[in-house]
Structure 1
Amino acid sequence: MTTETYNQALLTLALAGIDAINTSASQHKAVRTAAQESHFLCNWMVESLKTKRFSKLMADDLTAWISQARSQGAGAQLKQRLTCIADQYQQVNNSAIATGTGLKNLLTGLAAQEWVVVTDTDIDAKLKINSDGKSSLIISAKEFNQHIVDDKIVKPISMYIRGDEKLVARLALEQGVLLSQGNKKTSLIKHHKTYVLIPDNLHSSLCLLCLDLY
């Protein structure tokens, strides 16, 4: 028996939500405002959570989105969020680029934009990197050299980033790679956040989304 992954459960939810709001919109002649769309999706999520329509893997995300919609209204961007999830996760699923190759292409792209990219130093204690004000991305040499086999990421890789995370997420997505959310507390590099790459992009929680594209 195959266990459903977080990615599969998330994509199922996102596609169902998009279908629900599109079906509802086709049944109404007047164009809905962003606030009305948010209200509809919030109610749909509440009902989905109550009836346990989706995998229990989605419970925390649904709870968080419902809370955001109730406090922020249209500012919660529920429709954009679901559309972004559906597009982003399907794009990665359909990518022909091996994850290790994708990571190396990402680093090359950032270096071309004058980022400081460091992959030749072991990172096993807290450090401070002098990048002369430039954006920077650091990966421990041990992980970079040992966690990529046959052009694929086979073990988690931590990237320490100081710079525009939206740019990194967008470039990574083009290479078929998903980043975790950033975390300041786990970073070993001062003024940087930790972003993790996982084999086959199988994160156990929501990845960093490119919401600015929607």
Structure 2
Amino acid sequence: MTTETYNQALLTLALAGIDAINTSASQHKAPRTPAQESHFLCNWMVESLKTKRFSKLVADDLTSWIRQARSQGAGAQLKRLLTCIADQYQQANDSAIATGAGLKNLLAELTEQNWVIITDTDIDAKLKLDSVGQSSLIISAKEFNQHIIDDNIVKPISMYIRGDENQVARLALAQGILLSQGNKKTTLIKHHKTYTLRPKNLHPSLCLLCINQY
């Protein structure tokens, strides 16, 4: 028996939500306003959570989105969020690029865009990088050299990033890679955030989404 992953549970939820709101919209003659769409999806999520329609793996996500919709209304942009999740997780699933090869392609592209890229230094203590304001991405040499085998990421890799995270997420997605959310608390490089890459993109929680392209 195959255990459902967080990615599978999240994608199932997102596709079901999109289908629900599209079906509802087709039953109304007049287009719905963003506020009406948010209200519909909030109620749909409340009912889904109450009936335990989806995996426990996404229960915290549902709870968080319901809270946002209740406090922000249309500002929560639930439809855009679900569309973003569905598109990006499906794109990563369908990618034929090995994750390790994709990471190397990502680093090459950022180098061309004048980012400071460092992968030849072991990072095992807190450091400060002087890069004269340039965007930068750092990976410990130990992880870069040992956590990629046969062009695949086989163990988690921490990336320390200072720069436009949406740009990195977008370029990574083009290589079939999903990044974790950034974390300031775990970083070892001053003024950088930690982002994690995982084997087969199997993150335990919602990845960093390229929201700006929707």
TM-score (norm. length: structure 1): 1.00
Distance 1:116 1:75 in 2: 36
1:71 aligns with 2:71: yes
**Structure 2 CA distance, aligned partners of 1:77 and 1:126?**
38
Matched, 1:8 2:8: yes
Deviation at 1:120, TM superposition (A): 0.3
Deviation of 1:6 after TM superposition, in Å, equals: 0.1
Query: Secondary structure in 1 aligned to 2:195?
Result: strand
Question: Which residue of 2 is the match for residue 115 of structure 1?
Answer: 115
**Residue by residue, what CA displacement relative to the aligned partner does 1:48-101 show, whole Å, maximum 9, x if unpaired?**
000000001111000000000000111111000000000000001000000000
Q: Deviations over 1:118-163 (max 9, x none)?
A: 0000000000001111000000000000000000000000000000
Give the root-mean-square deviation of aligned CA atoms. Answer: 0.4
- Structure 1 spans left out of the alignment, 5+ residues: none
Measure the CA separation in 2 of the matches of 1:39 and 1:201.
32
| Equivalent residues in 2 for 1:102-181, closer than 5 Å | 102-181=102-181
Structure 1 runs (4+) greater than 3 angstroms displaced:
none
Alpha-carbon separation, structure 1, partners of 2:18 and 2:167: 26
Count of residues paired in the alignment: 214
Equivalent residue, structure 2, for 1:41: 41
CA deviation after TM superposition for structure 1 residue 24, in Å: 0.1
TM-aligned CA deviation for residue 42 of structure 1: 0.3
- Letter of the 1:176 partner, please give it: G
Separation in structure 2 between the aligned mates of residue 113 and residue 74 of structure 1, nearest angstrom: 36
Structure 2, unpaired ranges of 5+: none
Shift in Å at residue 40 of structure 1? 0.3
Rounded to whole Å, the distance in 2 between the matches of 1:76 and 1:43 is 13
Q: Which residue of the partner structure matches residue 204 of structure 1?
A: 204
How far apart are residue 102 of structure 1 and its match? 0.4
Distance 1:195 1:58 in 2: 21
For residue 139 of structure 2, give the secondary structure of its aligned residue in structure 1: strand
Matches within 5 A, 1:47-58: 47-58=47-58
> CA separation in 2, counterparts of 1:141 and 1:77?
40
Partner-residue secondary structure (3-state), 2:119: strand
Q: CA deviation at 1:45?
A: 0.1
Residue identity (%): 84
Distance 2:72 2:135 in 1: 32
